[in-house]
Amino acid sequence: MKCTRCKKEAEVELKSHNAAFCRDCFLHFFENQVAKAIKTHKMFSKTDRVLIAVSGGKDSLTLWNVLLDLGYEADGLFINLGIDGFSEVAKGKVEKFAQSRGAKLITVNLADDGISIPEVKNKIRRPVCSLCGQVKRYYFNMIGLKNGYNVLATGHNLDDEVSRLFSNVLHWNMEYLEDQSPVLPDEEGLLKKVKPLYRVTEFDTSVYAFFKGLDFVDIECPFSKGATFTVYKKHLNQIEFFSPGTKIDFYQGFLKKLQPIMADDKNDSKNRCKICGYPTFSDICSVCRLKGYR
């Protein structure tokens, strides 16, 4: 198999793009996909201050690495969830990466606010994952605004976006579909949010991280029972195997055909939290409630 771009021996085949690449050309392709996502959706420019939500996993460290290589001003924010045997390992990987690139890292300890994830887990009866997601989003937004960043970037890839879209369509979660986009504009109390990796797959990201020798955390969160999305991803990969290009078609089709109609129709009736001002559907946001405000 020869490289589509330079005709040297190829190392990676990408059926959905009808292409094969040698190492150098794959890295070029990958960076191009990210650059294209940023440009097409006007995510940010070289004068913006970008804050990246970093977990220590392969996607967020890949995103950080690419944005630095593309010459953007991109700092990292790590939220220490306080989960034994998991959070410290992740923190170590993130700190090591930041140091190796001479990049700025902000770290937040949820335990300092009395809402580490194990503490939260003891307070509630339902699975902690969705609440953990809410707490993380809250802090990413709050720290970003407080420190003067223009935009918050997350490492969601095409597989994350497609499995989420698939789930939202299966259950017709209209309010989630309205907000499913590679870019969400800022509004009062909310930073602009972007997903520059939305055009690349989980496989692409793994290959990139491997070629670049990125050292990331690959143990799963002990509380994570993310089984539903894993099942969707598995089935979507089977469909992709028989019909390469289906995933990107499904997602791009949604963005082009349905998302604009839904965004026009959007009914934004969010309140502001009485304690902290964060947008919420009730009087007090879920994080302030966890902190003990009623």
Binding site for Zn ion (CB under 5 A): 3, 5-6, 8, 22, 25, 273, 275-276, 278, 285, 288
Alpha helix stretches (DSSP H) within 148-218: 158-170, 174-178, 202-212
Q: What is the DSSP letter of 9?
A: B
Amino acid (1-letter code) at residue 136: K
Sorted by sequence, the CB contacts under 8 Å of residue 121 that are 6+ apart come out as: 128, 223
- 262 or 275: CB nearest Zn ion: 275
Find the shortest distance in angstroms from Cβ 138 to Zn ion. Answer: 8
Find the shortest distance in angstroms from Cβ 278 to Zn ion. Answer: 5
- 46 or 294: CB nearest Zn ion: 294
Give me the DSSP letters along 207-269: HHHHHHT-----SPPTT---HHHHHHHHHHHHHHHHSTTHHHHHHHHIIIIIHHHHHHT----
Find the shortest distance in angstroms from Cβ 10 to Zn ion. Answer: 7
- 96 or 279: CB nearest Zn ion: 279
- 25 or 51: CB nearest Zn ion: 25
Find the shortest distance in angstroms from Cβ 204 to Zn ion. Answer: 16
Nearest in space to 227 (alpha carbons), one of 185, 267, 161, 167:
167
- 3 or 12: CB nearest Zn ion: 3
Amino acid (1-letter code) at residue 170: L
Find the shortest distance in angstroms from Cβ 12 to Zn ion. Answer: 10
Strand-strand pairing, 12-14 and 19-21: antiparallel
